[in-house]
Amino acid sequence: MPRNPRYDVLFEPVRIGPVTAPNRFYAVPHASGMTNAMPRMRAAFRETKAEGGWGVVCTGYVSIDPASDDSPLPYATLWDEDDVRSHALMTEAVHRHGALAGIELWHGGGSVMNRLSRTPSMSPSGTAWMPTQVSYIGTQRPRVMDSQDIRELLEAQRRAARRARAAGFDIVYVYAGMGYLPHEFLLPEWNHRTDAYGGSLRNRARIVRELLEVTHEAVGDRCAVALRVSLEELRARPSEHAPSEAHELVQLLADLPDLWDVKMDAETTDCAPSRFASEGSHEPVISFVKSLTDKPVVGVGRFTSPDTMVGQIRRGVLDLIGGARPSIADPFLPKKIAEGREDDIRECIGCNICISSWHDCVPVRCTQNPTIGEEWRRQWHPERVPPAPHGATVLVVGGGPAGLECALTLGRRGYEVMLAEAADELGGRLRFETRLPGLASWARVLDWRRSQLRRLANVTVYRGNRLTADHILELAPVHVVIATGSRWTPLLYTPLEVPSGTLAGPRVYTPDDVAAGVRLEGPVVVFDFDNYYMGSALVEHLAAAGLRVSYATPSGLAAAWSVMTNEQPQTYRALAAAGAEVHTLTRVESFDGEEVTLIDVFTFARRRLPCRALVIVGARLPEDALYRELTARRAERVAAGVASVTRIGDALAPGAIAHAVYSGHRHGRELDAGDDARALRRDAPLRALDHARTSA
* H helical segments located in 174-329: 181-186, 201-204, 206-219, 232-235, 245-253, 267-270, 283-286, 306-314, 325-329
Site for ligand SF4 in 302-361 (CB under 6 A): 325, 328-329, 348-354
Question: Is position 400 an interface residue for ligand ADP (rule: CB under 6 A)?
Answer: yes
C-alpha to C-alpha distance for 250 and 263, rounded to whole angstroms: 13
The b/e string for 148-183 (b: 16+ C-beta within 10 A; e otherwise) is: eebeebbebbbbbbbbbbebbbbbbbbbbbbbbbbb
- Residue choice 160, 366, 539, 549 for contact with ligand SF4 (CB under 6 A): 366
Helix (H, G, I), strand (E, B) or coil at 104: strand
User: Residue type for 272, please?
Assistant: A
Helix (H, G, I), strand (E, B) or coil at 23: coil
Question: Is position 660 an interface residue for ligand ADP (rule: CB under 6 A)?
Answer: yes
Chain mean position to CA 589: 36
Chain mean position to CA 443: 17
| Residue window 266-305: x/- pattern of binding to ligand ADP, with contact defined by CB under 6 A | ----------------------------------------
Question: Is position 486 an interface residue for ligand SF4 (rule: CB under 6 A)?
Answer: no
Q: In this structure, are residues 106 and 75 in contact, taking their beta carbons and an 8 Å threshold?
A: yes
- Residue choice 466, 606, 607, 687 for contact with ligand ADP (CB under 6 A): 466
Neighbours of 414 (CB within 10 A): 17
The one segment of 4-12, 244-252, 480-488, 673-681 that binds ligand ADP by CB under 6 A: 480-488
Site for ligand ADP in 498-517 (CB under 6 A): none
- The minimum distance between CB 339 and ligand SF4, in angstroms, equals 22
- The minimum distance between CB 467 and ligand ADP, in angstroms, equals 4
C-alpha to C-alpha distance for 599 and 605, rounded to whole angstroms: 6
Q: Which is nearer to ligand ADP, 376 or 627 (CB)?
A: 627
C-alpha to C-alpha distance for 589 and 612, rounded to whole angstroms: 16
Q: In this structure, are residues 94 and 46 in contact, taking their beta carbons and an 8 Å threshold?
A: yes
329's contact among ligand SF4, ligand ADP, none, with CB below 5 to 8 A by partner kind, is: ligand SF4
- Residue choice 367, 441, 586, 646 for contact with ligand SF4 (CB under 6 A): 367
Q: Which is nearer to ligand ADP, 255 or 470 (CB)?
A: 470
C-alpha to C-alpha distance for 106 and 71, rounded to whole angstroms: 14
C-alpha to C-alpha distance for 325 and 660, rounded to whole angstroms: 19
The one segment of 297-305, 349-357, 460-468, 683-691 that binds ligand ADP by CB under 6 A: 460-468
C-alpha to C-alpha distance for 195 and 179, rounded to whole angstroms: 21
348's contact among ligand ADP, ligand SF4, none, with CB below 5 to 8 A by partner kind, is: ligand SF4
397's contact among ligand ADP, ligand SF4, none, with CB below 5 to 8 A by partner kind, is: ligand ADP
Question: Is position 490 an interface residue for ligand SF4 (rule: CB under 6 A)?
Answer: no
User: Residue type for 16, please?
Assistant: I
- The minimum distance between CB 481 and ligand ADP, in angstroms, equals 11
Site for ligand ADP in 579-638 (CB under 6 A): 623, 626
- Which whole-number Å values give the CA distances from 631 to 402, 636, 644, 654, 682, in the listed order? 20, 10, 9, 20, 34
Question: Is position 250 an interface residue for ligand SF4 (rule: CB under 6 A)?
Answer: no
Question: Is position 429 an interface residue for ligand ADP (rule: CB under 6 A)?
Answer: yes
- The minimum distance between CB 5 and ligand ADP, in angstroms, equals 40
Catalytic residue positions?
180
C-alpha to C-alpha distance for 23 and 27, rounded to whole angstroms: 11
Q: In this structure, are residues 229 and 249 in contact, taking their beta carbons and an 8 Å threshold?
A: yes
390's contact among ligand SF4, ligand ADP, none, with CB below 5 to 8 A by partner kind, is: none
Residues that bind ligand SF4 (rule: CB under 6 A) add up to a total of: 13
Cis omega before residue 685 (within 30°)? Answer: no
328's contact among ligand ADP, ligand SF4, none, with CB below 5 to 8 A by partner kind, is: ligand SF4
Question: Is position 19 an interface residue for ligand ADP (rule: CB under 6 A)?
Answer: no
Report residue 303: phi and psi, to 5°. -75, 120
The one segment of 29-37, 382-390, 463-471, 565-573 that binds ligand ADP by CB under 6 A: 463-471
Which parts of this chain interact with ligand ADP (CB under 6 A)? 397-403, 420-423, 428-429, 465-467, 483-486, 623, 626, 649-651, 660
Q: Which residues bind ligand SF4 (CB under 6 A)?
A: 325, 328-329, 348-354, 366-368
